[in-house]
């Protein structure tokens, strides 16, 4: 029986802006307390995005039909239609009657550093919850903390394989909420900054049977499992057009590998290849993938 994939997290409209310089060149560490900056961006695009939408889109390109768990706003019908056209299961996507769809406003510099302002909108409403089974796989991504905790509890109770990916919501989660997500997870994932903040905030030490994955941008990623570290090299990129969706594409590749029964190293290499393809196109849901080609080169 094929494993069902659930992806929970934000569904948002992304305003993506590219800045040609480096943020660091304009920040004086001695003046952080009076920080006031403005960047003249070179490019601005409006795209569909959000963690759940991006990961599900990439999985659909890899031949999967994931179920998205998330909320859209009164302006979200067009996004909902796009998800359906991509072959994504939207039965757990709720349309708010009062709030607009969440929105991300992201500026990326040439070193791939990002500054993001995020308006939660409909995301901060209770979401629809599916019934889990032991054979399912879920990714719990950043969204309304109460929804994250509810789904983590449901997954833990049903002994569902789940990936805990709190990302930008780490500051919003209490220590107990963070621990609730970490304890029942099979995989904990984040970039090096997020992993460090999680450890500092919760004090949680991963079990030997838990995989902790640290993404390192252009340096690849590291997977810690059973006391060992697996280094995953970055895949070759022809030209970086937009690094914004790299992390979500990586997660989709990882999930694809895991549902196929790959080892963590094999799944990590596949994840790197998918991420590399995503950054070659501007926007987080505009690229195309050929699964047969990706499979051969990962």
Query: Per residue in 143-189, pLDDT tens?
Result: 999 999 999 999 999 989 999 999 989 999 999 999 999 999 999 99
How many separate domains does the chain show? 1
pLDDT for 297: 64
Instruction: State the CATH number of the domain containing residue 20.
Output: 3.40.1190.20
Inter-residue contact 190 to 204 (CB < 8 Å):
no
| Residue 16 confidence (pLDDT) above 60 | yes
Of all helices (H) and strands (E), which one includes residue 157?
helix 145-157
pLDDT for res 285? 92
Which residues fall within 8 angstroms of residue 67, CB to CB, at 6 or more apart? 4, 5, 6, 7, 88, 89, 90, 91, 92, 130
For residue range 264-289, what is the model confidence (pLDDT) as tens digits?
Answer: 999 999 999 999 999 999 888 999 98
Task: Count Cβ atoms below 10 Å from residue 135 Cβ, excluding itself.
Answer: 13
pLDDT of 49 higher than 90: yes
Whether the pLDDT of residue 94 is over 70: the answer is yes
- Domain membership flag for residue 214: yes
Is 298 contained in some domain? no
The proportion of the chain whose per-residue pLDDT surpasses 90, expressed as a percent, equals: 79
Q: Is 19 a member of any domain?
A: yes
β-bridge partners, 138:
6, 162
Q: If you average pLDDT over residues 96-106, what whole number do you get? A: 95
The more confidently predicted of residues 237 and 244 is 237
Q: What pLDDT score does 1 carry? A: 64
Would the pLDDT of 68 be above 60? Answer: yes
pLDDT at 188: 98
> Considering the domain boundaries, does residue 70 fall inside one?
yes
Domain span at 91: 5-26+41-288
- For the stretch 104-136, pLDDT in tens is 898 989 988 889 898 999 999 999 998 877 789
Residue 200 CB coordination number (10 Å): 9
Task: Look up the pTM and report it.
Answer: 0.89
Is residue 295 in a domain? no
Cα–Cα distance for residue pair 236/83, rounded to 1 Å: 29
In a domain, 165, yes or no: yes
Residue 294, in any domain of the structure: no
If DSSP codes are grouped into helix, strand and coil, which group holds residue 79?
helix
Q: For residue 179, report the phi and psi dihedrals to the nearest 5 degrees.
A: -65, -40
In this structure, is residue 271 part of a structural domain?
Answer: yes
């Amino acid at each position: 029986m094929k494993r069902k994939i659930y992806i929970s997290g934000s569904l948002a409209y992304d305003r993506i802006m590219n800045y040609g310089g480096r943020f660091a060149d304009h920040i004086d560490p001695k003046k952080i307390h009076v920080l006031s900056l403005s960047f003249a961006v070179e490019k601005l695009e409006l795209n569909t995005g959000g963690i759940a939408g991006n990961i599900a889109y990439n999985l659909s390109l890899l031949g999967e039909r994931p179920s998205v768990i998330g909320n859209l706003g009164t302006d979200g019908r067009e996004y909902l239609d796009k998800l359906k056209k991509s072959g994504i299961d939207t039965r757990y996507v709720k349309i708010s009657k009062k709030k607009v769809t969440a929105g991300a406003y992201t500026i990326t510099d040439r070193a791939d550093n990002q500054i993001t302002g995020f308006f939660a909108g409909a995301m901060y409403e209770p979401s629809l919850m599916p019934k889990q089974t032991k054979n399912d796989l879920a990714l719990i991504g950043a969204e309304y903390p109460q929804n994250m905790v509810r789904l983590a509890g449901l997954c833990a109770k049903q002994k569902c394989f789940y990936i805990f990916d709190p990302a930008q919501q780490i500051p919003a989660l209490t220590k107990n909420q963070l621990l609730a997500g970490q304890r029942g997870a099979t995989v904990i994932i984040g970039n090096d900054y997020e992993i460090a903040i999680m450890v500092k905030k919760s004090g949680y030490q991963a079990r030997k049977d838990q995989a902790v994955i640290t993404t390192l941008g252009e340096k690849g990623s590291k997977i810690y499992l059973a006391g060992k570290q697996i280094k995953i090299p970055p895949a070759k990129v022809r030209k970086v057009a937009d690094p914004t969706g790299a992390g979500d594409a990586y997660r989709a590749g990882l999930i694809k590998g895991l549902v196929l029964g790959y080892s963590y190293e094999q799944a990590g290499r596949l994840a790197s290849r998918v991420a590399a393809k995503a950054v070659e196109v501007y926007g987080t849901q505009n690229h195309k993938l050929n699964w047969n080609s990706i499979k051969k080169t990962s």
